[in-house]
Amino acid sequence: MPRTARLNERTIAEAALVVVDTEGIGALTMRRLAEQLSTSPMALYHHLPDKEAVLEAVAQLLLAEVEAPPPGLGWQETLRRIMRSARAVALRHPHAASLIARFPPRTPDALAFVEAGFRSFRAAGFSPSSTATAYRILVGYSLGTQDVELGGYFATHPATRSPNGSLDQPSTDRILPTVAEIGPLLAAGDPDQEFEHGLDIVLTGIEAILPRE
Amino acid sequence: MPRTARLNERTIAEAALVVVDTEGIGALTMRRLAEQLSTSPMALYHHLPDKEAVLEAVAQLLLAEVEAPPPGLGWQETLRRIMRSARAVALRHPHAASLIARFPPRTPDALAFVEAGFRSFRAAGFSPSSTATAYRILVGYSLGTQDVELGGYFATHPATRSPNGSLDQPSTDRILPTVAEIGPLLAAGDPDQEFEHGLDIVLTGIEAILPRE
DNA sequence: ACCTGAACACCGTTCAAGT
DNA sequence: ACCTGAACACCGTTCAAGT
C-alpha cells in the first residue's frame, strides 16, 4: 500500500528530486525511488514510460522554480532577474542541476519564465529574430556557467594545483606559463560577483549588437 | 592476446572514442571497450583506476584536438579561432561532446589552446583578472552552445511543435503567446551563423566592459 | 485500473588465480 | 608485471499474475 493516497507523475517527480538532492543523481534508481514512495519499482511504470521520463519530470519541476519577474521592468532588469533566479535554483539543487541542461522547458509552469523573458525583449522593441538570438546566448551563458560552477570546472583546473616537478616530464609551468599565471585566478573570485560580471558583459553585447524593430 | 602490442592509457582512450563515436556514449561499457581492444575487461583496470578515468581520458583526447592559433593575431581573432575549433571538435564527435563539459583540460596537449588564448588576452593588455573573467565567459558560451546545439535543446522546444488543442487543458498558445511566437524561430536559423552572431555579441561585451592594464 | 514478485539481460568492480 | 575467469552486488525493464 503506497504511503501517498495515489501515485502520479508529480508525486513521483517530487520524490525523485528529494532522492537526488539528498543522495546525489547516482543514487536515483527505480528501486530507490520506489522505496522512497513506499511502493514497488514496477508501480512507477504505470505512470511514466521509463527512467528517462523520471529525469525529464524532475527537470520540469526545477524549471518551474525559476521565477518570472512582473511585467514593466525593462528588458535588462527582467533578464537579470531570470538569470539570477535560474542560478539560484541550480545552487539550491546542485546534484540535480545537470538535468536542466539536458531537458528544455516543456510544461506551462516551466515555460513561465521564458514567456516573461520573451515579452520583455519584444516590449523593448527587439524583433522576433533578435529575441531568439538573445535567448540562445542567455541560455548558453546560464548552462555554461552552471557546468563551470557546479561541475567544479575551475576548482580542478591543473593550474590551480601545485606543479608536478618530475624530471622526465617538464613542469607544466615551463611549457604553459600563462596557464600557470591565470589558472589560480579562475577559482579565486567570488562566484556571485563573477556571475554578475559575466552577465553585464553579455547584456552589454546584446544591447550593442542586436537591432531593434 | 591483445591486438595492439601493449595496452596503455592512450590506446584505451582512442578505442573508447571509436566506440562512443560509432555507437554512442551509452554503448561504452568496460566489457565493450575490452572487446574493441581484443582483451578482457579486467585488463583495463591495470592501466586506469575505473570507468570515470576512461571518460576523463577521452575528454583529454577531444580537448587536444582543439587547435591553438599561431601567435600575433590579435585577441578577437585568436579567440574566434579557438571557439570555432572547439565547436568543430564537438560537431565531429557529437556523441562524445558532453564529456567536454564534464572534464576540464588537464594534460599539456589539452591545455595548448588555453595557453594560446590566455597569451592573446595578456598581449592585448588585459589584466590577469580580466583574462580569467573573459575565459570564464567564453567557456560558458562554448559549453552552453554545445548543450543547446547537440542536445537538441531547441529542436524539441514545445513551441516548435504544433499546439496541443485539447479542450480540458487550454492551448499553450493562449497562455504563452510569446513562446508561441518566438519558439519556432529558435530552431529555424543556420547554426553556424547563430554561433558567429552570439560570438560577436560576447566579444563585443568583453571589449566594452573589461579593463586593460 | 493499478500494483506485485520473479526473472532476464545486462552493468562496474572485487577477488583469487594464472603466466 | 600483466592478464584472466568467475563471481558479487547491483541496474532498467519485461512478463505473467494478482486485485
AA identity, residue B74: G
What pLDDT shows up at residue B184?
A: 86
- Positions of strand D less than 7 angstroms from a protein CB: 2-6, 10-16
List of chain B residues whose C-beta atoms are within 8 Å of the C-beta of residue A156 = 104, 106
Q: What does CATH list as the number for A68-209?
A: 1.10.357.10
B159 pLDDT band, cuts 50/70/90, is very low
**Nucleotide with C1' nearest the B39 CA:** D3
List of chain B residues whose C-beta atoms are within 8 Å of the C-beta of residue A144 = 139-145, 147
AA identity, residue A98: S
Q: How far is the CA of B95 from the C1' of C11 (A)?
A: 20
pLDDT in tens, A66-104: 999 999 999 999 999 999 999 999 999 999 999 999 999
AA identity, residue B173: D
| Interface probe, candidates B111, B172, B201, B213, chain A, greatest A C-beta count within 10 A | B201
pLDDT in tens, B68-101: 999 999 999 999 999 999 999 999 999 999 999 9
Q: How far is the CA of A107 from the C1' of D19 (A)?
A: 34
Distance from CA of B156 to the nearest CA of A (A): 8
pTM for the model stands at 0.89
Q: Cβ contact (<8 Å) for A141 and B140?
A: yes
B7 pLDDT band, cuts 50/70/90, is confident
From first CA to last CA, the distance across chain A in angstroms is 60
DSSP chain B: --SSSS--HHHHHHHHHHHHHHH-GGG--HHHHHHHTTS-HHHHTTT-SSHHHHHHHHHHHHHHTSPPPPSSS-HHHHHHHHHHHHHHHHHHSTTTTHHHHHS---SHHHHHHHHHHHHHHHHTTB-HHHHHHHHHHHHHHHHHHHHHHHTTTTTT-GGGSPP---SSS--HHHH-HHHHHHHHHHTTS-HHHHHHHHHHHHHHHHHHHSPB-
Q: What is the mean pLDDT of residues B157-183?
A: 61
| Other CB atoms within 10 A of residue A35 CB | 14
A123 pLDDT band, cuts 50/70/90, is very high
Q: Taking CA A88 as the corner, what is the angle to CA A130 and CA A60, rounded to the nearest 5 degrees?
A: 70
What pLDDT shows up at residue A154?
A: 66
Q: Is the pLDDT of residue A170 over 80?
A: no
Q: Is the pLDDT of residue B152 over 90?
A: no
β-strand partners of B212 = B126
Domain ranges in chain B? 3-62, 68-209
Q: Which residues touch strand C (CB under 7 A)?
A: A 1-2, 6-7, 39-43, 45-47; B 28-32, 41-42, 45, 50-52
Class of domain B3-62: mainly alpha
pLDDT in tens, A136-156: 899 989 998 888 888 777 654
B10 pLDDT band, cuts 50/70/90, is very high
Distance separating alpha carbons of residues A151 and A143, to the nearest angstrom = 11
AA identity, residue A16: A
